[in-house]
């Protein structure tokens, strides 16, 4: 064990406990086992709980500020007043010591920045908790932005991540009110985000992936990456000189079309989410610039989101259930996301029905995506359901999109822009090709299961013979357990008989003589028909059992 690291951890834990106590969370520190570091009560109890949490995160430093920014994406876990407070956590910090930054740049570039670039501004134009940005010009006259990671920030972040993981385990074990927020999962998501953000080359790979997706769309601009000077602690990208999206007066002065910009920005983000499954997860005004020709530039791909094909299918199934007024289908998806947490399916179905009725029949122009998402997330919180982290990012992006769109164009119709993307996604998911893929996948899984069954039975028998087979019986539910065993034994028997019929019928088909039907041995055909009936019954029985659960 590294004694220096251990001492530093204890010191940091004391700092955390002191900040918690200062903001009136001394009871939380005590329940986490940090009582010795708690000194007195807070004099800030007049602030709301959300305000005190935000201030505590701010006082705890860069890692915790970043944590608050990630929590701001969890609209499914926190009510609007908490999200508003988390969004106030700005990633701003004073510039790092110039000498340390220069020494690190010489190490990474192989020469002083004044020799590598035709011009280099030592004073940064922006400074955050992880990195700061300098203006520079390449030898060919191209203006660039040079992003430099803060010296020694990596060790600080890794130490804080280790402490956060430990605190999340303690919170989940000792604080039932916090456990429902899945602190360990939140910290895992946050750790992935932070480690990716520490590697400035990952940001550039993400930018190039998005640029490739929009290579045929000149209205969307992603800064070019200059890999010759890009690595883990530094990256060099094309400098975007455009109108910041928050400066609406400048947008008007430049003669840009606000309505067109709102529509193009929303279409670009929806394409990333629903078509590509890889998207810019932090499209706040500081990361959007408007260029001549009503073009939009996305910068800073430090935070990105990913949606797997399976997750997109689930999202489309949920949206399809809401659109088609099929509350049960929507609830099935939400229950899958909530697993293994218990869900009151009947109450959830009733609430989803009410949610659908509230918006059913309204014209698209009257719908407000932000209000709909707020109602949906409120419903999820009431049922103590937490979305997977990737989908929480999608919700946050959609809310930000509508907010930005309405700033540009008060009549912006987010639902109308999204409708063609959703319709195409639903049609693709329910099309013949998609159904064929799922059918083939299901058939392959069934054949694989059948092929592995003899081996599984052999291992089961060996375990029983060696005495290693253990049965854990819940005496309070013995009757239900007996029924479960009886059903399992019946299915296993039918499965073995079906497999035997398939094997026996295959042998009979090779034997000449005997009655025939359609030119094939009658008994072989009868055996295959019996195995088909038995297999079908087995599949239906399993499906019905799953629905009952």
- Just list the catalytic residues: 282
Contact (CB, 8 A) for 238 and 223 = yes
Q: Is 234 helix (H, G, I), strand (E, B) or coil?
A: strand
Closest to 101 (Cα-Cα) out of 247, 233, 249: 233
Query: How many other C-beta atoms are found inside a 10 Å radius of the C-beta of residue 537?
Result: 13
Distance CA 487, CA 483 (A): 6
Give residues with Cβ within 8 angstroms of 26, minimum separation 6.
Answer: 20, 38, 40, 41, 42
- Count H helices and E strands in the chain, helices first: 22, 13
Length in residues, the chain: 549
Residue 256 near residue 180, CB atoms below 8 Å: no
Kind and range of the H or E run holding 133:
strand 131-137
Q: Where are the alpha helices (DSSP H) in 271-388?
A: 309-323, 327-338, 345-359, 369-382
What is the pairing mode between strands 243-244 and 220-221? unpaired
Contact 510, 481 (CB under 8 A): no
What value, to the nearest 5°, has the Cα angle with vertex 11 and ends 9 and 14?
Answer: 110
The neighbour count for residue 84, using CB atoms within 10 Å, is 14
CA pair distance 405, 258, nearest whole angstrom = 9
First to last CA, the chain: 48
Cβ-contact 19, 56 below 8 angstroms: yes
| Helix, strand, coil share (%) of the chain residues, nearest 5 | 65, 10, 25
Tell me the C-alpha to C-alpha distance, in Å, between residue 84 and each of 78, 81, 89.
10, 5, 9
- For strand 278-280 and strand 516-517, is the pairing parallel, antiparallel, or unpaired? unpaired
- HSE-CB of 318 using CA atoms within 13 angstroms: 16
The values of phi and psi at residue 218, to 5°, are -70, -10
* Residues paired with residue 289 on neighbouring β-strands, in sequence order: 244, 297
């Amino acid at each position: 064990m590294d004694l220096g690291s251990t001492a530093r951890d204890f010191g940091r834990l004391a700092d955390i406990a002191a900040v918690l106590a200062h903001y009136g969370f001394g009871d939380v520190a005590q329940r986490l086992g940090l009582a010795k570091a708690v000194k007195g009560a807070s004099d800030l109890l007049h602030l709301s709980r959300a305000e005190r949490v935000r201030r505590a995160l701010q006082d705890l430093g860069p890692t915790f500020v970043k944590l608050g920014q990630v929590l701001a994406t969890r609209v499914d876990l926190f009510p609007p007043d908490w999200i508003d407070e988390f969004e106030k956590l700005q990633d701003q910090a004073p510039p790092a010591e110039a000498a340390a930054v220069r020494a690190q740049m010489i190490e990474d570039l192989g020469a002083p920045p004044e020799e590598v670039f035709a011009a280099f501004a030592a004073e940064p134009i922006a400074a955050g908790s992880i990195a700061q940005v300098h203006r520079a010009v390449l030898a060919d006259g191209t203006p660039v932005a040079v992003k430099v990671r803060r010296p020694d920030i990596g060790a600080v972040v890794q130490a804080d991540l280790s402490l956060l993981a430990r605190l999340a385990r303690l919170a989940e074990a000792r604080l039932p009110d916090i456990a429902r927020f899945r602190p360990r999962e939140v910290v895992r998501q946050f750790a992935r985000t932070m480690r990716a953000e520490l590697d400035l080359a990952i940001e550039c790979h993400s930018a190039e992936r998005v640029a490739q997706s929009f290579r045929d769309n000149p209205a969307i601009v992603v800064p070019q990456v200059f890999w010759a000077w890009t690595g883990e602690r530094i990256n060099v990208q094309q400098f975007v000189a455009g109108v910041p999206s928050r400066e609406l007066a400048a947008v008007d002065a430049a003669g840009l079309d606000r309505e067109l910009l709102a529509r193009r920005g929303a279409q670009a983000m929806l394409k990333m989410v629903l078509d590509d499954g890889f998207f810019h997860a932090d499209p706040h005004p500081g990361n959007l610039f408007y260029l001549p020709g009503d073009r939009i530039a996305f910068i800073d791909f430090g935070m990105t989101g990913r949606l797997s094909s399976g997750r997109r299918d689930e999202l489309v199934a949920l949206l399809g259930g809401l659109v088609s007024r099929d509350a049960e289908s929507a609830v099935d998806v939400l229950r899958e996301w909530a697993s293994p947490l218990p869900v009151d399916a009947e109450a959830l179905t009733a609430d989803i029905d009410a949610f659908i009725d509230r918006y059913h029949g309204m014209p698209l122009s009257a719908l407000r995506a932000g209000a709909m998402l707020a109602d949906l997330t409120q419903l999820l919180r009431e049922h103590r359901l937490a979305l997977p982290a990737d989908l929480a990012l999608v919700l946050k992006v959609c809310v930000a999109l509508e907010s930005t769109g309405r700033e540009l164009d008060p009549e912006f119709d987010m639902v109308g822009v999204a409708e063609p993307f959703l319709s195409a996604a639903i049609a693709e998911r329910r099309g013949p090709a998609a159904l064929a893929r799922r059918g083939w996948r299901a058939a392959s899984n069934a054949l694989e299961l059948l092929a592995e069954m003899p081996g599984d039975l052999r291992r089961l028998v060996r375990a029983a013979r060696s005495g290693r087979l253990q049965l854990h019986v819940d005496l309070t539910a013995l009757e239900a357990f007996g029924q479960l065993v009886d059903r399992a034994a019946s299915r296993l028997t039918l499965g073995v008989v079906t497999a035997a019929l398939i094997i026996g019928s295959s042998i009979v088909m090779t034997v000449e003589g005997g009655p025939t039907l359609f030119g094939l041995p009658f008994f072989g055909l009868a055996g295959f028909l019996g195995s088909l009936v038995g297999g079908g019954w087995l599949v239906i029985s399993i499906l019905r059992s799953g629905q009952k659960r």
